[in-house]
Amino acid sequence: MPAPENTSFDTARTIASFPASFTQDVRDGATTYTVYYRFVAPQTGLLHLFGFGGTVGSGYQPQTLVYQSTTDGGFPSTPVIDAFTRANENPLAAPWATMDYWWGTPLRLLSNAVANSDGSSPSYSGAYHTGISNGPDLEAYLTVAALPTVECGLDLFVYGVALPGPTTTFELLVFATGQITFKLYVDDVLDTLLFDITRAPLTPGDVIGLRRLGTTWTLWLNGALITSVVSTRFLEPLGLGIGVEESSGVTTGRLTTVGGGDSRPTLLISGDDNRPVQIQVTAGQEYFLCFDRAGNPTPALLTVTAQYLAAQAVLPGDLLVNDDTGGFPLIVASPSTDYLVKRSVPTVVAGEAGDALDSGIMAFEDRTLPQIVTYDANFTVIHAQDTTGLGLAYIRTMNGTKFYVGFDGTGDVRVRDLLATGFFGAVDFTLPGVTSLRGIAANNDETILYFSTDIGNAPVRRWDLVNGVELSVLNAGLAANYRAKDILVMPDGTIVVLYTFTGSSPITLRRYDSSGTILMQFTVTLSPGGTGTRLAYSGDRQTFWIMMPSTDDSVFQHYDLAGTLLSEVRHAPYNEGLYLGAQTTDPPLFGVSLSCPLVVMHGTAVPPEPVPDGCVGGGLAMDAAGGGSGCTS
């Protein structure tokens, strides 16, 4: 059997139609190959991708990897390295350095453009950038400022041996006549003419450049692909240089705005044996789907399936599980149907804290930037409140009307209130001697703040919000190694506290009255792997939810104030996009993150029905030949 043809990025087969699945034999009789597919997302949405090796727990067990192209299919995609918008330089100054071999003389900076040295013989002037080594997948480009005289050219080159002496160089030469050549020099000697084309002469402002992806070099002019060539030579990181070739005594040819950088696709998700991934994709973005080799079993049949999430309306009472890792969306999960994910919301910032007001306004901590972002019930940003220097945020609603936020930084814990407008209010104080924080909640008349620290057997403490002093504790610690991790103040003024046990899975729930008397207590034993347990108010705040993440299933339980279990729902564990459950031929399509805040959707108005996140039919169709075109009906 012949080897598969799609064994690298540049030879990846194109996935062009959505939805379906296909099976491919990925052996050539001796080797199991890594298989690549390329697709440009036709829709923005949450995508389920699964490569299954045909056997649970043995044999061929492919790992699913997802890459995002840095190119988006266009050119250039990498930043400008030097725009040359500065005072004249002769020679061109650092980080550029003059070449000492056949170029002969230095370049200079003249009126915000690069020119040859002075027009005297010899006519070749060149420089290389001393701080750049990109690739092996890379881009390099320049902007034409003025064409040289006939038979002379502007040079863009990438090189593979330390300069300034003789080196291996891939040289792109642009002539005033419209001729464009691309050559490989080895030790200063022409080795290969990779292409030689002639087109209309370039004009000032044209951007021309090269991209290498795998073994394929492509030539680009003003964002359009002109030609391509395959070369397996010197597949290594390469430096960047520029040059001007002119007739003796002439300084006509000039270039400006040089750019480039790595163009290798960025790894987004690295999967596990025979397990699916879920990833938020953006319409028009190019992605690569890779199924990595796993041993050398026989047979090695790869079955690929993919499906978009069919988005549904978000309703009050739905479970919102935000992700704590940037690039992964907030997930809206059903409060009543197992494994039903209703929608993904990529616009919500990633973080570990969040809550909602009765109006439906939500606040989420951002772990990427120091800020707390508030959203309305349609997930539209209201305001981003800067929190620079304050530390990690712990957020809890106060009587459903505003938020209290505790900041666990390098010193004493600082407390602020956050209004429905998204801005800080007037409350601003520190808790003296308190250097860690876990739970925080203000009572309904905003006179007492309940809080807990990240210390075993520590009590739930009280702070007088009126007089600014600490009061007696609400109740002593539960037991050694138990931490009061989360706190809710219910509408009747009672306090629900979640206690987690370090080193094993049991959790304990207690409900106190304002004097510290225990009104209710029960214990829940999590399934193996449980972590990140959280509390949340129900939609009307009269009852509460517990989220118990696990590598088996994430379990969500709904309780009343007497400790009666009202309902339970399970959702699949997908951490940083990777399914964590056991191998199976039919894994849940979508799921929730493990260690993130739980918020229950509040408000009386139902958000408008969202536009579906996928194609009609909710999926992605692929076949081994990459056939098809666009969404299916």
List C-alpha distances in Å: 447 to 244, 441, 622.
Answer: 75, 11, 61
**190/99 Cα distance (integer angstroms):** 17
**216/286 Cα distance (integer angstroms):** 17
Q: What is the pLDDT of residue 431?
A: 97
Q: What is the pLDDT of residue 166?
A: 53
Instruction: For residue 380, name the pLDDT band (cuts at 50, 70, 90).
Output: very high
Domain 80-262 in the same topology as domain 9-69+265-308+620-631: yes
Coil, helix or strand for 11? helix
pLDDT at 73 over 70: no
Query: Dihedral of the CA atoms 115, 116, 119, 120 (nearest 10)?
Result: 160
Q: What is the pLDDT of residue 118?
A: 62
Coil, helix or strand for 9? helix
Determine phi and psi for 335, rounding to 5 degrees.
-85, 0
Please say whether the beta carbons of 130 and 95 come within 8 A: yes
CB within 8 A of 273, min separation 6: which ones? 53, 61, 62, 63, 294, 583
pLDDT at 365 over 70: yes
List C-alpha distances in Å: 371 to 85, 368, 374, 582.
Answer: 35, 9, 10, 37
Domain ranges of the chain: 9-69+265-308+620-631, 80-262, 319-600
CATH class of 319-600: mainly beta
Q: Residue 76: is the preceding peptide bond cis (ω within 30°)?
A: yes
Mean pLDDT of the chain: 86
**382/388 Cα distance (integer angstroms):** 19
Coil, helix or strand for 10? helix
Distance separating the N- and C-terminal Cα atoms of the chain: 36
Superfamily of domain 80-262: Exo-inulinase; domain 1 (2.60.120.560)
Q: What is the pLDDT of residue 621?
A: 37
- Architecture of domain 9-69+265-308+620-631 in this structure: Sandwich (2.60)
pLDDT at 23 over 90: no
More reliable by pLDDT, 224 or 168: 224
Give per-residue pLDDT as tens, 247-275. 665 667 889 999 998 887 888 998 888 99
